[in-house]
Amino acid sequence: MEIMNALALLSNYLVVPALAYGSQLALGALGVTLVYGILRFSNFAHGELMAFGTMAVILMTWFLQAQGISFGALPTELLALPVGILATVVLALGTDRVVYRFHRSKKSQPVIFLIASLAVMFFYSGLTRFIIGTADRNMGDDGARFIFTAREFKEWSGLDEGIALRTTQGITVVVTLVCVVALFWFLNRTRAGKSMRAYSDNEDLALLSGVNPERVVLIAWILAAALATVAGTMYGLDKTFKPFIYLQLLLPIFASAIVGGLGSPVGAVAGGFVIAFSEITVTFAYKRVLTYIMPGDNVPDGLVQLLSTEYKFAVSFVILVVVLLVRPTGIFKGQSV
């Protein structure tokens, strides 16, 4: 029983949150990796694109709520998602038209694109704050809060420790699963998806085969914007919407994409979970778990926490540095950075 309690405790505070956080990182990293694979630059504006998308979803949610429309047990944000995606796609395509297309026609170096994306990042961040302000916004305040609560779990299992599953966590995992399956189906089974993989693999040969580069770029932006909106909304639903948080998310998202192998969609998903689980296992306080599995007085005094939560971003950073030194192409052999 003690072992079961320890496992329940670990699941509640480590596994479930890491699954949700890992899903959010995976969605974010997929967008980064797609843009890298097709346009061949690290898009630093991706975090702010997520912020913009989430903002669009929030505005649409408010509108729906004002009309008295809700989504039953599910948060209204899910209903607003398609509109948010549409707005974000328009923004991404507009940006490509105004900024990146010029550099493509000039065949600019990747580093020029990267610097341009920094400028775009500042523009997006200003735009988002200009529209919705800088304050925190609560998301997911309608619908059921829990799929099951800790108390329900305790009664059901008879354990001292409960596992709670919040609706937003469940939604995050399910939505991620749907997005990933749909994306992989698209990339592996459709003509357009195959042409994107071909273009990412070998640009010259793809051009010789008659692949239209502008079309591939267009699809890449649509997918990246959609994924960014979903990722940002899931993160906001799980926590709250703070405009600045998406800039901070950029590091773990890039770490995920690079750990998995830049340009590799499978890698982005794997990388997201590697980073999420590392971050949370390293900053988790094991004290209470140990009290269940260690006899009596042997339990240490402190929190038994490797690293305080304030330093969680250092975890992604360390993993990133180690991967770049040891295996720059990442787990799934993406392009070397």
Partner 1 sequence: MSFLLGKDMTGGYGAADILHACTIGVERGEIAVVVGPNGAGKSTAMKAVFGMLELRSGQVTMDGEDITSLSPQARVQKGMGFVPQTNNVFRSMSVEENLEMGAFIRTDDPSGTMAQVFDLFPILKQKRNQPAGELSGGQRQQVAVGRALMTQPKVLMLDEPTAGVSPIVMDELFDRIIEIARSGIAILMVEQNAKQALNIADKGYVLAQGANLYTDTGEALLNDPDVRKAFLGG
Strands 165-166 and 146-148: antiparallel
Q: According to DSSP H, which parts of the chain are helical?
A: 2-10, 16-39, 46-66, 77-95, 101-105, 110-132, 150-157, 167-189, 191-201, 203-208, 213-238, 245-260, 265-283, 287-293, 312-326
The two three-digit tokens of residue 297, written as one number: 């007085």
- CB neighbour list of residue 79: distance below 8 Å, 6 or more residues apart: 61, 64, 69, 71
The two three-digit tokens of residue 188, written as one number: 């592996």
Least distance in Å: CB of 327 to partner 1?
A: 17
- CB neighbour list of residue 62: distance below 8 Å, 6 or more residues apart: none
195 near partner 1, judged by CB under 8 A:
yes
Taking the least distance from each CB to partner 1, the nearer of 198 and 304 is: 198
201 near partner 1, judged by CB under 8 A:
yes
Least distance in Å: CB of 210 to partner 1?
A: 4
336 near partner 1, judged by CB under 8 A:
no
107 near partner 1, judged by CB under 8 A:
no
Taking the least distance from each CB to partner 1, the nearer of 160 and 201 is: 201
Question: How wide is the angle at C-alpha 228 spanned by C-alphas 227 and 233, nearest 5°?
Answer: 100
Task: Give the CA distances from residue 198 to residues 219, 244, 263, in Å, rounded to whole numbers and listed in that order.
Answer: 14, 36, 12
Taking the least distance from each CB to partner 1, the nearer of 155 and 201 is: 201
40 near partner 1, judged by CB under 8 A:
no
Binders of partner 1: how many residues, by CB under 8 A?
15
Taking the least distance from each CB to partner 1, the nearer of 195 and 278 is: 195
d(CA 328, CA 323) in angstroms, rounded, equals 6
**Residues 15, 83, 211, 247: which binds partner 1 (CB under 8 A)?**
211
Q: Which stretch binds partner 1 (CB under 8 A): 57-65, 85-93, 161-169, 198-206?
A: 198-206
**Residues 15, 115, 159, 198: which binds partner 1 (CB under 8 A)?**
198
Least distance in Å: CB of 264 to partner 1?
A: 9
Contact in structure between 330 and 262 (CB atoms under 8 Å): yes
321 near partner 1, judged by CB under 8 A:
no
Taking the least distance from each CB to partner 1, the nearer of 327 and 333 is: 333
Binding site for partner 1 (CB under 8 A): 191, 194-195, 197-198, 201-202, 204-211
